[in-house]
Amino acid sequence: MTLPVPTVAIIGRPNVGKSTLFNRILGARTAIVNDVPGVTRDRNYADATYRGRRFRLVDTGGLDPSASEGMLALIRRQSQIAIAEADILILVMDGRAGLTPPDEEVVGLLRGLRKPVFFAINKLDTPKSDPLIADFYRLGQDRLYPLSAEHGLGVAELLDAIVPLLPESTDRDDDREVPRVAIIGRPNVGKSTLVNTLLGQERVLVSEVPGTTRDPIDSMVTYQNRRYLLTDTAGIRRRGRIDRGIEGYSVARSLRAIGRSDLAILLLDGVEGVTEQDTKIAGLVLRQGRACILLVNKWDLREGDARARGEYEADLRRRFPFLSWAPVLFASALKSDSLREIFPLIDRVTASFAARVPTGSLNKFLQALVQEHPLPVRKGKPSRTTKSVYMTQVATKPPVFALFVGQPENVTPEYLRFLENRLREEYHFLGSPIRILVRRK
């Protein structure tokens, strides 16, 4: 029997170094780090291992107990959810700033919890910093953990104290591959709302303010006993409108999130229609070779228009001729009933993305096709027999095929598009790009 993986949440007031500690424990630059308070807004999850013990690490936004409205209140709500679902808490405080009233308020919120809390005093990176920790003993804690998340000092001691609370791994988790799905689009089209609806909980911040999501946020969801990893990403704006610094880094992280996913769900605004920026984002999906589903959001606002769907689909065909293979869903991110088809469709598309066609079947199909539609030949050259043509699949995710012919220079782009379309029809490559490499036989 596999024991549940415990959740360790890093909490504290804004700008005390929570994301820096998160990245240090993971050994990678996973969360955005900046000196501006409030950079981390959502709960950011990652799987971690220390001394053979596995746990789920959670980075949170700054916990400001006094926040009652606006973005700070939403961030506080996310931190409170993280505290409620965590098994172990790491409270981070700023050693250079000393013990502050907001720190004491956060400690007060934790007093009634029956969960282990580890008090980490951050930004103590020199021996001269040691006297700064004395102020924090006023909290009445027997053990404090001085550390420097930026330089790694004291982090191992903190983790060594946590390890006894982590169960030993007895069995391996289910080795079935979990589909990775990136939710992408321009700002304010409903990406975070969609993730929250699919999860059935307030997993990521939702606000009318464009740019609310900054870090790509991974969330595991289970549908009919199958798991999916959803990644909510920052909205991708036009290059000229991207601010330097945090927003630019957020957009770069969104692009990387597309690259590490199997499938991108591109959200479009059903009321506003397809924009030039939507077309550019779709091109990013194609260039990175990811499978794709087009989800037209806010469709509940146009359900009374009988011609709307046909007009929108025609606009998609005109704007996205390079994604003609991507299935289209019309739905509302706010209404779970309208999203019933999404997980079955994800299954079909990711299966196509990872599909492998047996070489025998592939060449039987190719020989029949070339008999009916011969390969292009040079003017005045005799047509070669079908035996001079051979094809094999050389990769998956996306499917890549190598076409071996006598004269590769004769194979036109038009013929390759024709061959790609016939491959899709024959082997049902729904929602997945196909690449065909022409090689000399």
Residue 63 has φ and ψ, to the nearest 5°, of -90, 105
**Residues 301-326: pLDDT tens digits?**
998 888 999 999 999 999 999 999 99
Q: Does pLDDT of 361 surpass 90?
A: yes
Strand order in the sheet with 44-50: 44-50, 53-59, 7-11, 88-94, 117-122, 145-146
- Measure Cα distances from 366 to 338, 369, 403, 422 in Å: 40, 5, 10, 10
More confident residue, 238 or 309: 309
Q: Is-contact 22 101, C-beta < 8 A?
A: no
Strand order in the sheet with 180-184: 217-223, 226-232, 180-184, 263-269, 291-297, 328-330
Q: Is the four-CA dihedral 132, 27, 84, 184 of positive or negative sign?
A: positive
Domains, the chain, ordered by start? 7-165 (3.40.50.300), 180-353 (3.40.50.300), 359-440 (3.30.300.20)
Q: What is the mean pLDDT of residues 366-386?
A: 73
Q: What is the mean pLDDT of residues 129-150?
A: 84
> What tokens appear for 281 in the block?
């984002």
- Helix (H) / strand (E) element for 159: namely helix 155-162
> What tokens appear for 154 in the block?
């004291």
Q: What is the mean pLDDT of residues 164-179?
A: 67
For residue 217, the cross-strand partners are 232
Q: Does pLDDT of 400 surpass 50?
A: yes
- Helix (H) / strand (E) element for 335: namely none
Q: Does pLDDT of 247 surpass 50?
A: no
Packed helices 359-372 and 413-427: angle between N→C axes, nearest 10 degrees = 130
Average pLDDT over all residues of the chain: 80
Q: Does pLDDT of 406 surpass 90?
A: no
Lowest-pLDDT range, 144-153, 166-175, 289-298?
Answer: 166-175
Q: What is the DSSP letter of 55?
A: E
Q: What is the mean pLDDT of residues 66-79?
A: 51
Q: What is the mean pLDDT of residues 251-279?
A: 84
CA dihedral 192, 195, 197, 200 (to 10 degrees): -120
- Can you list the alpha helix ranges (DSSP code H) found in 320-435? 342-353, 359-372, 413-427
Q: What is the mean pLDDT of residues 408-434?
A: 93
User: How much is the pLDDT for 320?
Assistant: 93
CA 340 to chain CA centroid, nearest Å: 21
- Measure Cα distances from 208 to 115, 186, 193, 251, 274 in Å: 35, 13, 11, 18, 20
Q: Write the burial class of residue 29 (CB in 10 Å: 0-12 exposed, 13-18 middle, 19+ buried).
A: middle
Q: Is-contact 203 195, C-beta < 8 A?
A: yes
User: How much is the pLDDT for 430?
Assistant: 95
159: left (phi over 0), alpha (psi -120 to 50) or beta: alpha
Strand order in the sheet with 435-440: 390-395, 400-405, 435-440
User: How much is the pLDDT for 379?
Assistant: 58
Share of the chain above pLDDT 70, in %: 77
Q: Does pLDDT of 7 surpass 50?
A: yes
Residue 380 has φ and ψ, to the nearest 5°, of 90, -10
Q: What is the mean pLDDT of residues 21-35?
A: 62
More confident residue, 261 or 85: 261
Q: What is the DSSP letter of 411?
A: -
> What tokens appear for 301 in the block?
């606002």
User: How much is the pLDDT for 260?
Assistant: 80
